[in-house]
Amino acid sequence: MNAACPSSCPFVLPRPELSGTPGLVRRLAAGPAGGQDYDETKRNMLKLLVLAGIAGAAGGGLTGGSLQYAQPPIVGIANFPRVQLLDLDGSALTSAKIAGEYTVETNDVILFNYPLRNEPNFLLNLSPPKGGTGGASNVQGGVGPNKSIVAYSAICQHLGCPAPNISYYPPGTCPATPGGQSFYIHCTCHGSTYDVTNGASNLTGPAVLPLPQVVLEWNQSDDTIWATGMTPNSPPVNGHFSTLTGDYAVGSQSQLTKQQPIHQCDTF
């Protein structure tokens, strides 16, 4: 306080015009309403809303950028896992069980998911029934005593029709292909045909890529069957940027499922 001006110093003058309810700002006498109160909190909120509207209208790029970071992350896995296959009843799948349950003549669609939950694969045993003839052994990537157990993606490499629209055709189901193959995988959507004895290479189009082939492992010590990867020349599973991205991993085990096939004979 300035003691030299006790009566004129503005700091000690009585200021009745400054008294009032905390949080409210009073317009002083010079104002048009002669001292009308208004709520500063509401006024500031209005300013914020106006500024947000201007930012939204003029900052489309900013909004888009913000939404970009709101996208869910791409799910997937870093490496191919080693997954044990289980039979339809949940027991460990063995080559002995496969030989007894599935042969080149099996009509049902036998599937397991690998490496992701939304990536189904055919499990095929190309050996004939016990004592029978035909079928194939020592095929590319085949495992088991006859190297006849193989697995291929059950999603067509043309436009992605899944099983059972794409199904395995046992011998005699439909006419043989031009190359004389009597059992094959065929897609009813547009007619692509794949050679199950040769890495699911293309027998007829319009697909131009083979079906991705699962690398199987036969553990001879306990006869179990495992999936451990995809062959190096396999394209990505159709609909996936990479076979390792697009869903969550199946886990440490994957159980077989069964579907009824859809068969449609085409004129090759």
Query: Closest approach of Cβ 85 to ligand FES, in Å?
Result: 25
Measured CA to CA, the distance from residue 78 to residue 143 in angstroms comes to: 26
Measured CA to CA, the distance from residue 110 to residue 197 in angstroms comes to: 17
Please identify, using beta-carbon distances, which residue of 125 and 186 lies nearer to ligand FES. Answer: 186
Chain positions contacting ligand FES, by CB under 6 A: 156, 158-161, 166, 187, 189-192, 206-207
- Contact between residue 116 and residue 76 where contact means Cβ atoms under 8 Å apart: yes
Closest of 227, 234, 230 to residue 251, by C-alpha: 227
Please identify, using beta-carbon distances, which residue of 192 and 254 lies nearer to ligand FES. Answer: 192
Query: Closest approach of Cβ 169 to ligand FES, in Å?
Result: 14
H-helix or E-strand spanning residue 49:
helix 40-58
Please identify, using beta-carbon distances, which residue of 161 and 209 lies nearer to ligand FES. Answer: 161
Cis geometry, peptide bond prior to residue 115 (ω within 30 degrees of 0): yes
Query: Closest approach of Cβ 157 to ligand FES, in Å?
Result: 7
What is the torsional sign of CA 176, 179, 184, 190? negative
Query: Closest approach of Cβ 188 to ligand FES, in Å?
Result: 8
Please identify, using beta-carbon distances, which residue of 85 and 163 lies nearer to ligand FES. Answer: 163
